[in-house]
Amino acid sequence: MIKILNDIDKIKEFYLSDLRPWIIGFSGGKDSTCVTQLIFNMLDKLHPKKRKKKVYVLSSNTLVESPFIQTRIKKTCEKIKNQAYKNKLPIEVEILKPELNDTFWVNLIGRGYPSPNRWFRWCTDRLKINPMTKYIQNKVRENGEVIIILGARKDESASRAQTLGKYIIKNSKLHKHSSIPGALIYTPIEDWKVEEVWAYLLQVKSPWSDNNRDLLNLYKKCDDECPLVIDRSTPACGTSRFGCWVCTVVERDRAIEGLIETGETWLSPLLEFRNWLKEIRDKSKYREPIRKMDRKRKRIAEFLGKEFNQSEHRGHKILGPFTFETRHEIFRRLMKLQRKFSKKGFNLISPEEIKAIETLLIYEGDNISSILDVFNENIKIDRNNNVRHKDKLHEICRKNLVSEKLIEGLVKIEKDFSRLSRRTGIYNRIEKVLDEYVQKNFNEKQN
């Protein structure tokens, strides 16, 4: 414990050395809990007049965390917040979430992205890095520089030790952030062994009244946690076992498997759903035969009279997004799970996500008028209404000498986005419609 006490003194000395605010990355695992507890206790023992700078405790909720882990982290964050307020400490606690446009279900079902794997891990940036980056950049703008506190340790793995060594600033306790100027990283327990982390957690009482033995028991069931990912230099969750319950990057979800084996059998439907997502990912009958970006390349190649070569990976043609039928089936199965888990107080998908999915499906040309059509397996169109609408549109466009197809596309975008509280992405959609219109006109004139 002598080494631990010396490190606590170093943390205190570093806190008092300047006014740059600290941002603690809190994942709820042993290392981030250890760092948060160290800093909380240091501030609590510090004279109130010396607590001059803010400490922000940040956690990340991807919205697809395991319900078991999500509940624990949420409760712990609430305890830290309340105890800090009671002790009059300059600590603020926030749980970051991805933007609606970036959530897992909006991309998987709405855009048809295939389930993530090692080569196409589209989830990490959208669910974890982007919310964290945006928050840190805002704090940098407010303060000039910020210091991010992580529970990273060299003892964790050779890759972690290499990463910590790569970005270190010479003659300093700090490391450079790989992508955000003005953000520096401090890893106060980087030289600790895992035994020292547990010794501290089990021998020093949690200041917010958490039972760290419960955390130890959770590790016995699930093993490693998913680290808080702040940039691409941070190891992602591919080899860990605390992570998103839908994660198909790992071969097996050992966290939920471990929890189920120790009596949490109510989690079994989540594991079955996740395994099904992994199973269908690379089967051609569930995917479009060609990627969206390749469709445009193919049209250009055909126009220029050149040969089109479909994108490949390791000698295999890269399939396109999930078909509409596959997305419908994923949605129906998810909603069946939602009904089951909502009774236990867990929400797997939000109403806002469902509305955004509906908007994307309609925009991409799915033959639905509402998401309820998918849920009720009742895909149809009101033909009479469509005819009336087209006649009126034709009359207006003819009178004003405007392209009917262009206005139809723009009206469709407005209709889709009018039902959303946040119209994120509308300008990109408008730009896409205008781009396609200009390109089509150009091709016609060339012919």
Question: How buried is residue 67: exposed, middle or buried, by Cβ count under 10 Å (0-12/13-18/19+)?
Answer: buried
pLDDT per residue as tens digits for the range 184-208: 999 999 999 999 999 999 999 999 9
When pLDDT is cut at 50, 70 and 90, the band that residue 424 belongs to is low
Q: DSSP assignment, residue 322?
A: B
pLDDT at 384 over 50: no
Q: How many Å apart are CA 258 and CA 222, to the nearest integer?
A: 5
Tokens 């609430």 -> residue = 78
Q: Which residues pair with 56 in a beta bridge?
A: 23, 92
Nearest to 243 by CA among 127, 126, 344: 127
Query: Are the CB atoms for 105 and 357 separated by under 8 Å?
Result: yes
25-34, 254-263, 356-365, 382-391: least confidently modelled range: 382-391
Please, what is the Cα angle at 331 between 328 and 334, to 5 degrees? 150
Nearest to 433 by CA among 406, 415, 414: 406
**Proportion of the chain above pLDDT 90, given as a percent:** 48
Identity at 225, one-letter amino acid code? E
Domain boundaries, the chain: 2-100+119-210, 289-318, 383-446
Q: How many Å apart are CA 210 and CA 244, to the nearest integer?
A: 23
Please, what is the Cα angle at 142 between 139 and 145, to 5 degrees? 65
Tokens 């981030």 -> residue = 32
pLDDT per residue as tens digits for the range 44-94: 999 999 999 999 999 999 999 988 888 889 999 999 999 999 999 999 999
Pairing between strand 55-60 and 312-313?
unpaired
State residue 81's pLDDT score: 97
Query: Are the CB atoms for 226 and 240 separated by under 8 Å?
Result: yes
Q: What is the pTM of this model?
A: 0.76
pLDDT at 446 over 50: yes
Tokens 């060609």 -> residue = 290
Q: How many Å apart are CA 396 and CA 402, to the nearest integer?
A: 8
Q: How many Å apart are CA 315 and CA 178, to the nearest integer?
A: 33
Greater pLDDT, 148 or 291 = 148
Mean pLDDT of 379-406: 64
- Residue 7's alpha-carbon distances to 16, 27, 173, in angstroms, are 14, 22, 12
Mean pLDDT of 401-427: 66
Q: How many Å apart are CA 341 and CA 163, to the nearest integer?
A: 39
Greater pLDDT, 383 or 141 = 141
pLDDT per residue as tens digits for the range 292-316: 766 666 667 666 677 767 666 665 6
Q: Which of the listed CATH numbers 3.40.50.620, 3.40.1260.10, 1.10.10.10, 1.10.10.60 matches domain 2-100+119-210?
A: 3.40.50.620
Q: DSSP assignment, residue 265?
A: G
When pLDDT is cut at 50, 70 and 90, the band that residue 113 belongs to is very high
